[in-house]
Chain A
Amino acid sequence: MTPSSTNRSGWAAYLQVAPLTLVLICFFAVPVALVVIVSFFRYQMLVGIVPTFTVKNYVDLFTNPTTWTLYASTLKFTLIVLVVTFVLGFWIAYFLVFHIRNLVTAIGLFLVCTVPFWTSNIIRMISWRPVLGREGLINSALQNAGITSQPIDWLLYSDFSVVVAYVHLFTLFMIVPIFNSMARIDKALLEAAIDAGASRFGVIWEVVLPLSKTGIALGALFVVTLVMGDFFVVTVMSGGLSGSATSGIFNDLQFLNYPRAAANAVILLITVLLIAAGIFRLVDVRKELVR
């Protein structure tokens, strides 16, 4: 970056990147390489790995309709959660940045958003059960108010409850980066837009949204990786009735089928990388960050 760094001799630069490189090799490159290798090994019933080369694991996965069902279900949840967390995250961030005049109040409210994160996510998830259950808060309220005569079943152990839990758990990951992007927007731009005759909505659409796209991209990346990599929330909140790509991996691990689980992990990794690449194609996050 600075002119002096280009004058340094080559080895100093290598030395500077060495610690990070070592960490990445030990904790990222080697484990991923191992997973890829194991994914080509053979599985022996309940004993585990036999080191002979085979592509059977991949063939099994691609020809098994269950894999496709699970990926379809995961993508469905990812899309729904992405849309809901974006809408919520964008408006909350917009409110905090542009409507709260006092910086201290804004930061205070921002911290309030993080309060749920002071508890474990298991507790945050499980606590939906007494709310959504058949004899839960919502159902008893509706029945006592005479609105429904039968408990509504689809509130819990359904796709609905899974989405509720995801949104509750992951919206903050959307708020933070969008908040960060919006805070960098020069407020004079908004005034200029209004002076030039833009409507309130026009300002958001033409000015705020384009200038927040780095935050949106980062938030989307967080949400996508979190939802795609989850099996716990979906299992607990659907009562085991829905699965995800990762729950397929988990099921294989249950029977010590490491090779097929590894193959599944490689496929999932490639899928997530493709989605991330897509997001980065839309928004050049690196360029925007150093802006």
Chain B
Amino acid sequence: MTKKDGLLGKAVSRRGVLKGGAAIATATAVTGFPTVWAQNLKDVTLNHVGMSYSVLPDIARQASQDLGFKIEMSVVDHPGLLNRLIQDPNSLDIADMEIWQSKIAVPQGVLQGVEIAKIKNWGDLTPLYTEGTFAGKPVSTQGDSPFEFIYRDSKDATAFASGKTDWANFLPGVYNADTLGIRPDLTGRPISSWADLIAPEFKGKAAIQNIPTNGIMDAMMAFEAAGQLTYGDKGNPTQDEIAATIAKLIELKRGGHFRALWNTFDESVTLMASGEVVIQSMWSPAVTAVQTQGVKCTYQPLKEGYRGWGNGLGLMAHLDGLKLEAAYEYLNWYNSGWVGGFIAKQGYYSANPKTAMAALSENERGFFYEGKAATADITSPTGEKTNSAGDVRDGGSYEERFSKVAVWNNLMDEAEFLYAKWNEFSGA
């Protein structure tokens, strides 16, 4: 308690200084000394807070270098970010949220609208976010699809807009379509369906993520694919559907089907790399991490489709003056390609495919976006080899992948019920 107050106190005083600086800057700018403005911009520090997969120190380093002011990054977990957003909104400047997290942040009024006119290449962003379509077809709306939550009616609105407006709740960030990770050398047969996650032959060799909002989606995909349960809308299941799913999960757990329930990214990497598990819920960079250890690991496309998710960068409501200007500059930088190229090599996609593709080499562009075989080694962002020449990316091209998103990560209406039930599953 005391510690938190201490930190908050510090943040407030720092901001106080910046506000003072902003006032001076505005005054000088009016009288026509833009250099002073630039000088002041140098003293700005923006705190970008989000989850481990998108909040990467390399991005902060490059941004600080390119922009001339400081970007600080702090990593939190999903509940940790909600915690910060609600309990201590002044302690961060840029919120790197998943779409479903904005469903809590926006009504709470902790974000201010992003003025679309100030985002230079908004028009190049994927229509998956901005129009709700992809490759000319409407995107699945099972779960929280990005288009449903991107717009608001005004800067200070606390509700989502029903159609396109001039204000966004967030700048589209990284996103991906998730599926199961497998060890093709150990599964003994080709894997083609979510049902394989619960196939009896993988008893004791399967794992599922212990993050209720995501884990339940993987479970529902599996039970539906296996024909064991049916759902009206997997993106918003009823209490009965959740209860039935958890009952099935508990049955599997008691029967020793799951080798582990993983909580963190590196746990999933260890489980797969050590061969403890041959099929499990996985995130794309975890697959890359296993591959860099020289272990065969496939991010297996499945016939029922992918579980999609997306992030966006929200501007906190307290930003104003110089700091807000800096924040817009940062958003524009984020959207300008470097991040997109970096993220692609990690296994995710930038919401701005045009600038991201421009930041990649022809070989990388072919491999990550166009579904072509690599013409030379493919390396991770940190330079380790992940794929050899001749390899084709699991799931094919960018377009092929995202046109098969079946369901989105979400905050369901019955989330509280889900959390209670999930506790039963993890305690069973």
Decide: A153 near B108, CB < 8 A? Known: A129-B270, A135-B274.
no
State A46–B426 Cα separation when bound (angstroms): 20
Q: Across the two chains, which residue of chain A brings its CB closest to B79?
A: A254
B427 touches A66 (CB 8 A): yes
Q: Is A75's beta carbon under 8 Å from chain B? A: no
In the assembled complex, how far is the CB of residue B263 from the closest CB belonging to chain A, in whole angstroms? 6
Confirm or deny: A149 has a beta carbon within 8 angstroms of a beta carbon on chain B. no
Binary CB contact string for chain A from 233 to 256 against chain B (1 if under 8 A, 0 otherwise) = 001000111010001100111111
In this assembly, does B424 line the interface, its C-beta being within 8 Å of a C-beta of chain A? yes
Query: Whose C-beta in chain A lies nearest to the C-beta of B104?
Result: A46
A44 to chain B, nearest CB (A): 10
B274 engages A69 (CB within 8 Å): no
Contact in complex: B86, A153 (CB < 8 Å): no
Alpha-carbon separation in the docked complex, A174 to B388 (Å): 54
Q: Taking A47-B86, A134-B276, A157-B276 as contacts, is the C-beta distance between A239 and B426 under 8 angstroms?
A: no
Interface residue? B240 (CB, 8 A): no
Q: B423 interface residue, CB < 8 Å from A?
A: yes
A48 CB–B CB distance under 8 Å: yes
Check if B428 is an interface residue, CB within 8 A of chain A: yes
Distance from B255 Cβ to chain A, minimum over Cβ atoms (Å): 12
The reply to whether the CB of A34 lies closer than 8 angstroms to some CB of chain B is: yes
Interface residues in B53-97 by Cβ distance below 8 A to A read 78-79, 82-83, 86-87
Judge whether B261 and A239 touch: CB under 8 Å: yes
Per DSSP, chain B at the interface is helix
Measured CA separation A240–B276 after assembly (Å)? 14
Q: Provide the bound-state CA to CA distance between A257 and B82, in Å.
A: 12
Task: Report which of A70, A239, A251, A252 forms a contact with B262, defined as CB distance below 8 A.
Answer: A239
Q: Is the CB of A240 within 8 A of B210?
A: yes
A239-B259, A241-B261, A251-B423 known; A45+B415 contact, CB < 8 A: yes
* CB-based contact B416/A239 at 8 Å: no
Query: Which of A48, A254, A255 has a CB less than 8 Å from the CB of B87?
Result: A48
Q: Is A133 interfacial (CB-CB < 8 Å)?
A: yes
Give complex CA distance A247, B113 in Å. Answer: 38
- Residue B401 at the chain A interface, CB threshold 8 Å: no
Asked whether B30 is an interface residue with its Cβ less than 8 Å from the other chain, the reply is: no
With an 8 A cutoff between CB atoms, is A51 at the interface?
A: no
Instruction: Give bound CA distance, A241 to B271, whole Å.
Output: 14
Residues 105-135 of A contacting B (Cβ, < 8 Å): 129-130, 133-135
Q: Mark A70-91, 1 if CB is under 8 A from B, else 0.
A: 1001000000000000000000
The one of A47, A64, A130, A240 in contact with B426, judged by C-beta atoms closer than 8 angstroms, is: A240
* Contact of A66 with B424 in the complex, beta carbons under 8 Å: yes
Given contacts A134-B274, A156-B276, A241-B253, contact A47 B104 (CB under 8 A): yes
Q: Given A31-B1, A157-B276, A241-B253, A69–B79 Cβ distance below 8 Å?
A: no
Interface residue ranges of B386-428 to A (CB < 8 Å): 411, 415-416, 419-420, 422-424, 426-428
B127 at the interface (CB under 8 A from A): no
Return the chain A residue nearest B253 by Cβ.
Answer: A241
* Shortest Cβ distance from residue A8 to the other chain B in the assembled complex, whole angstroms: 34
- With A46-B82, A48-B86 known as contacts, the answer to whether A134 contacts B275 (CB < 8 A) is yes
B275 touches A256 (CB 8 A): no
A9 to B152, CA, bound (A): 71
B167 within 8 A of partner (CB):
no
Inter-chain CA distance A247–B426, complex, in Å, is 9
Does B260 touch A at the CB level, under 8 Å?
A: yes
Across the interface, B427 reaches (CB within 8 A) one of A31, A47, A243, namely A243
Is residue B258 contacting chain A, with contact meaning CB distance below 8 A?
A: yes
Name the A residues within 8 Å of B259 (CB-CB): 153, 157, 239
Residues in B whose Cβ lies below 8 Å from that of A257 = 419
Q: Which of A134, A240, A254 contacts B261 (CB 8 A)?
A: A240
Q: Residue A255 contacts which of B79, B108, B258, B275 (CB distance < 8 angstroms)? A: B79
- Give B411's nearest chain A residue, CB to CB: A46
B381 neighbours in A (Cβ, 8 Å): none
Q: Which residues of A contact B83 (CB under 8 A)?
A: 256
Q: Which residues of B contact A235 (CB under 8 A)?
A: 263
Nearest residue (CB) in B for A72 is B427
Within the complex, what minimum Cβ distance (angstroms) separates B8 from chain A? 16
**Residues on the A chain within 8 Å of B258, using CB:** 241
B415 pairs with A243, CB closer than 8 A: no
Minimum CB distance partner of B208 in chain A: A240
Q: Let me know if B275 and A135 touch, CB within 8 A.
A: yes
**Are A157 and B260 in contact (CB-based, < 8 A)?**
yes
Residue from B79, B207, B210, B276 in contact with A253 in the complex, judged by beta carbons closer than 8 Å:
B79
Assess the A69–B275 pair: CB atoms within 8 A: no
Q: How far is the CA of A247 from the CA of B210 in the complex (A)?
A: 12
- Judging by beta carbons under 8 Å apart, are B276 and A133 in contact? yes
Partner of A248, one of B78, B87, B210, B423: B423
Q: With A239-B261, A248-B427 in contact, is A34–B210 under 8 Å at CB?
A: no
Q: Which of A28-83 contact B (CB under 8 A)?
A: 31, 34, 45-48, 64-66, 69-70, 73
Residues of A contacting B1 in the complex (Cβ-Cβ under 8 angstroms):
31, 34
Q: How far is the CB of B84 from chain A (nearest CB, A)?
A: 11
User: A47 touching B108 by the CB < 8 A rule?
Assistant: yes
A88 to chain B, nearest CB (A): 28
Q: Which residues of B contact A65 (CB under 8 A)?
A: 424
Decide yes or no whether B132 CB sits under 8 A from chain A.
no
B321 at the interface (CB under 8 A from A): no
C-alpha spacing A255/B411, complex, angstroms: 12
Distance, CA A130 to CA B422, complexed state (A): 29
Give complex CA distance A46, B108 in Å: 11
Residues of B within 8 A of A134 (CB): 274-276
User: B415 touching A66 by the CB < 8 A rule?
Assistant: no
Report A-chain residues with C-beta under 8 Å of the C-beta of B210: 240
Among the listed B274, B415, B422, B426, which residue makes an inter-chain contact with A133, where contact means beta carbons less than 8 Å apart?
B274
Give 15 pairs: A residue, B residue, CB < 8 Å, sorted on A. Answer: A45-B416, A133-B276, A135-B275, A156-B276, A157-B260, A157-B276, A240-B261, A241-B258, A241-B260, A243-B427, A251-B423, A254-B78, A255-B416, A255-B419, A256-B86
- Closest A-B pairs by Cβ, 6 of them: A239-B260, A240-B261, A243-B427, A254-B79, A66-B427, A66-B424
Interface residues of B (CB under 8 A from A): 1, 78-79, 82-83, 86-87, 104, 108, 204, 207, 210, 253, 258-263, 270-271, 274-276, 411, 415-416, 419-420, 422-424, 426-428
Task: List 14 other contacts, CB 8 Å, given A47-B108, A69-B428, A240-B263.
Answer: A34-B1, A46-B82, A48-B87, A64-B424, A66-B424, A129-B270, A135-B275, A153-B259, A157-B260, A239-B261, A240-B210, A240-B426, A255-B415, A256-B86
